[in-house]
Structure 1
Amino acid sequence: MNKPMHLGELGKREFNRELMTLVVPIALQNLISATVISVDVMMLGVISQSAMAAVSLAGQITFVLTLFYMGMSAGASILTAQYWGKKDTPAIQRILSIACMFSLCISILFFMTSLFVPEALMRLFTTDPELIQYGSRFLQFNSFSYLVMGLSQMYLSVIRSMENAKIGAWISSLCLILNILFNALCIFVLFPSQPELSIAAVALATVLARFIELACCIIHSLTKGSIRFRLPVWDRIEGNLLKDFLQYTLPVQGNYIVWGGALTATAAIIGHVNSDMVAANSIASVVKNLAIVLCGGIAAGGSVLVGKYLGQGDMDKAKYAGNLMCMYAFVFGVVAGCTILVTKPLVYSLVNLNPIAQSYLDGMLYISAYYCVAKSFNATTIAGIFPAGGDSKFGLWCDTVVMWFVILPLSYLCAFVWQVSPIFLYLVISLDEVLKLPIAFMRYRQLKWLNNLTRNFA
């Protein structure tokens, strides 16, 4: 009878070393990715509350596009991590080509829509004419960044799953610094008292930073990378990998769309309550997203290692890694919540809100602190461990039921029928992660995520 393997202190230290090697750069990259749009919002807050709120709402379109990138990069990462466990680099090269092809098609669709019908997109989130005007201007100029974002994201996610996360952090750091410098030049030097011109210039600064990001990825792939940007080569191997890519990507993609679509719908509900709640929510979202970046690093880094162990056929080591990740998720979730509470005075000093919006923000940050604990565990399991082992359908049905059949109907009733206070409405909107936590824990205990997904192409 085979007994479960216990790795002991030596194995635990080795796993922790591998995990931290991935977590720190991935968390930094996630922080930078979350900061790119956050920088635009926060710096425009110096110009006016309306400019800040408009760009925050317009950023929902970029957020929806990012959901597609997240789904495709997750599918590519699932397969890459497992084939990396087998050291099958040619298969990984083909996976990158497939992911880039799909991401480019989606990018062109969003580019065309944002460029030609930005007003229609903004009316989905607000009826305020000033917010629509400012947001439309931002969307039109920012749409050009969509043409290159997907290619960069696919490349960085694939090499990250090959345990090379540092280069992504370096490239993203460079682009963030450039974006901040460009924003500062536009807002404080060129157009200090012209909100509409500042918004357009800030959008163009983001576009320039994104093009530089892709250029860095191309240079790295040609000089030091083991994979390249190439067109797909359609043969039997490519057909099998495409089938696997779609099999494991579509449920994850559906999960991100269902979850992100629900978040976008809640943003639209908030946008139709009042502009003060929109402004407060834009700041609360920035703070919350920045606080949980380390939690996202645990989820992404841990999923790479779990996938690698599964690709090697080492189920005991994968299970051991999953148990450690769940424990770390709770710890870092508590740290994230405490970070929000500690940094509240700093947040208040950086933004210029009227007294009503300020009171909304105060309550939202308290709610966000508790939200982070459940969010950390759910991200680690639903978006990390489960897809790494091929259990990618669970997140789709879980978010569909919780978000679309519970949270959204309840939020609509609270906002437009019962007309509860904005803080109570925000509390209801934030219940999704709390509801999902016990469900995710039970699913984890079932061990349906322990699967080797690789093929033998020899």
Structure 2
Amino acid sequence: MGLFTKDKNFYRRFFALTFTIALQNVIVFAVNLADNVMLGAYSEPSLSGVALVNQIQFFLQMVVMGVGEGIVVLSSRCWGRKDIDPIRKIVNIGLKFGVIFAVILWAVVFFLPHQTLGLLTNEGEVITEGVKYLQIICFSYVFFAMTNVLLCSLRSVETVKIGFAVSTSTLIINCCLNYCLIYGNFGAPELGARGAAVATLTSRVIEFIIVLFYLKFGDKKICLKLRDFGKMDKALLSQYVRVGSPVIASNAMWGIAQAIQTGILGHLGASAIAANSIATTVFQILSVVSYGAASASGVLVGKTIGEGKIHLVKEYAKTLQILYLIIGVATGALLFFSKGFILTFYQISEASKALAIQFMNVLSVTVIGTSYQVAVLTGIVRGGGDTKFVLYNDSIFIWLVVIPLSWAAAFWLKLPPLIVFCCLKCDQILKCFVAVVKVNFCKWVKSVDKGQIELSEE
């Protein structure tokens, strides 16, 4: 078997899904980037405060995407068998999980905003600016959760263009309202961080309305009805918990770990917070193709297994690994050569700018590892039904390698922020060795349907 599959339909489906999902993701991240850049031109404390709040948003996003990926693993196989009725029931389950979590998170940050942000930094001015943003933006959490769970449901049946349309509308509305409400243009009040929060909340409500409108009048595959969100199917609930809970736990843990990492840098000063905010946001924008490839792979692997074409799965896996590396190298080069131009949009101190350049240099290398291992583990392996492995792997690297190493570097050895940042990102390279062994030499195609005979890899 060669490194590249000869199935031309595979390439068409993979690249169509990858780039459509990537475009959607780049616009999703661009909403945060718009707040980031516009507030960066307004004041550095506002930029740093909102950067901390965005870590809470990232935690929500990771959990919601975990809920959505659980839907994709189960529903993509049903889609491969053209069995639609279970998909509606799976969506019902996922939507309830997402909403419950969003409500709990809203309650915590709304009633304990200072305490929440105090875990991430001890800079009083930064916390004050962050609270202004947090107490408004938290009302968008439920809308965000419902929108993204529904979009993941549509993605599981290869409907992805609506996600791009929704995210585009969000970005346009957010940027226009930011311009008015942050700076007080066109007669609007000058609200600073609060204005950015109002703009984002408004755009999240509108994107949810657009998704509902599409489900009512545009969707011809799942055909969701209001009655589908009634009583849950206990058998499917059991399957979802078995398959989805490791995914949700893994994503939630990753979100918590990112918040801890931000907290470590946050205690190294306001310059480190601002630099990390800029570097991370730019990285998220430029790495969307890598994450799009991971999402596309999960859908394609799940659907291929559902169609009973197990012999093609391993063939696709070899091709995908080469594509991931190509995407990673291209992303790293783009990040490295564009960093100077990107920083011209920010009005920040020279210390923050110098740190941001150093952080982006590190990310331009580690993104190659990110592109490979994330797509292999969360795309191929998780799409193949082995959802627990990623949880175990992430648990080991986060709690036994990254957090202890970076904590020691920052607070025990008192090393510079650049070294601490390298420690925070080292797992992106180390996980590649695990990914190579797992996908090429271990079993990862598993049954996700209770009572179904275990699928063979041969």
- Using structure 1 for the length normalisation, give the TM-score: 0.94
Q: Which amino acid aligns with 1:241?
A: L
Q: Provide, for residues 358-415 of structure 1, a one-character-per-residue CA deviation record: whole Å limited to 9, x for no partner.
A: 1111211110100100000111111111111111111111111111111111111111
Counterpart Cα distance in 1 of 2:4 and 2:9: 10
Deviates more, 1:440-449 or 1:91-100: 440-449
Residues 133-152 of structure 1 mapped to structure 2, 5 A cutoff? 133-152=128-147
> In structure 1, the residue corresponding to 2:159 is in which secondary structure?
coil
Q: Matches of 1:184 and 1:64 in 2, distance apart?
A: 27
Secondary structure, counterpart of 2:344 in structure 1: helix
Pick closer, same or farther for the CA change 1:58–1:20 going to 2, 3 Å.
same
Residue identity opposite 1:227 in structure 2: C
3-state DSSP of counterpart to 1:350: coil
1:28-177 alignment runs, 5 A limit? 28-177=23-172
Q: Which residue of 1 aligns with 2:455?
A: none
Residue 223 (structure 1) aligns with: 217
| Residue in structure 2 matched with residue 337 of structure 1 by the alignment | 332
**Percent identity over paired residues:** 27
After TM superposition, list the pairs within 5 Å mapping 1:170-185 onto structure 2. 170-185=165-180
Q: Does residue 445 of the first structure (1) align with residue 440 of the second (2)?
A: yes
- Name the CA shift for 1:356/1:54 in 2 (closer, same or farther; >3 Å): same
Q: 1:61 to 1:352 in 2, by over 3 A?
A: same
Please state if 1:263 is matched with 2:258.
Answer: yes
Q: Look up the equivalent residue of 2:344 and give its one-letter code.
A: S
The match for 1:392 among 382, 387, 402 is: 387
Residue matched to 1:205: 199
Separation in 2, partners of 1:102, 1:294: 28
In 1, Cα distance between equivalents of 2:266 and 2:189:
24
**How many residue pairs end up in the alignment?**
449
CA RMSD in angstroms comes to 2.0
Deviations along 1:311-366, whole A, 9 cap, x unmatched? 11111112222222111110000011001112112112111221111111121111
Cα gap change, 1:395 to 1:7, in 2 (>3 Å)? closer
Q: What is the aligned partner in structure 2 of residue 274 from structure 1?
A: 269
Partner AA of 1:302 in structure 2:
S
| Amino acid of the structure 2 residue aligned with 1:208 | T
**Match of residue 9 from structure 2:** 14
CA distance in 2, matches of 1:41, 1:192: 23
Shift of 1:442: 0.5
2:367 corresponds to 1:362: no
Cα-to-partner distance string for 1:214-265 (whole Å, 9 max, x where unaligned):
1011111111213326454547xx1111111111111111111222211111
Q: For residues 20 and 387 of structure 1, what CA distance do their matches in structure 2 show?
A: 19
- Deviates most, 179-188 or 391-400: 179-188
CA distance in 1, matches of 2:40, 2:81: 49
| Conservation of the 8 A alpha-carbon contact between 2:174 and 2:199 | yes
Residues 193 and 228 (structure 1 numbering): CA distance in 2 closer, same or farther, change over 3 Å? closer
Measure, in 2, the Cα distance between the counterparts of 1:258 and 1:328.
Answer: 28
8 A Cα contact 2:136 2:198, kept in partner: yes
Q: Does the 8 Å contact 1:344/1:365 carry over to 2?
A: yes
1:224 is matched by which residue type in structure 2?
A: G
Q: Distance in 1 between matches of 2:187 and 2:117?
A: 25
Per the TM alignment, residue 455 of structure 1 is displaced from its structure 2 partner at its CA by 6.5
Taking the aligned partners of 2:2 and 2:77, their CA distance within structure 1 comes to: 21
Using the alignment, how far apart are the partners of 1:455 and 1:168 within structure 2?
31
Kindly provide the amino acid, as one letter, of the partner of residue 339 in structure 2: K
Structure 1 residue ranges without an equivalent (≥5): none
Runs of 4+ aligned residues of structure 1 deviating over 6 Å after TM superposition are 4-7, 191-195
2:313 to 311, 314, 318: 318
Q: Residue 63 of structure 2 contacts residue 255 of structure 2 at CA under 8 Å; is this kept in 1? A: no
Q: 1:99 to 1:416 in 2, by over 3 A?
A: same
Aligned-partner residue type, residue 286 of structure 2: A
Give 1:98 shift: 0.6
SS at match of 1:305: helix
- Mapped partners of 1:141, 1:262: distance in 2: 24
Give the match's secondary structure for 2:182: helix
Report the Cα offset of residue 188 of structure 1.
3.5
Q: State which of 427, 432, 444 in structure 2 corresponds to 1:432.
A: 427
Separation (CA, whole Å) in 1 of partners of 2:174 and 2:188: 20
Letter of the 2:429 partner, please give it: V
Amino acid at match of 1:205: A
In 2, distance between residues paired with 1:193 and 1:53?
Answer: 24
Distance 1:250 1:5 in 2: 36
Residue 7 of structure 1 deviates from its aligned partner by 9.1
Q: Distance in 1 between matches of 2:415 and 2:288?
A: 31
**Structure 2: distance between partners of 1:193 and 1:281:** 31
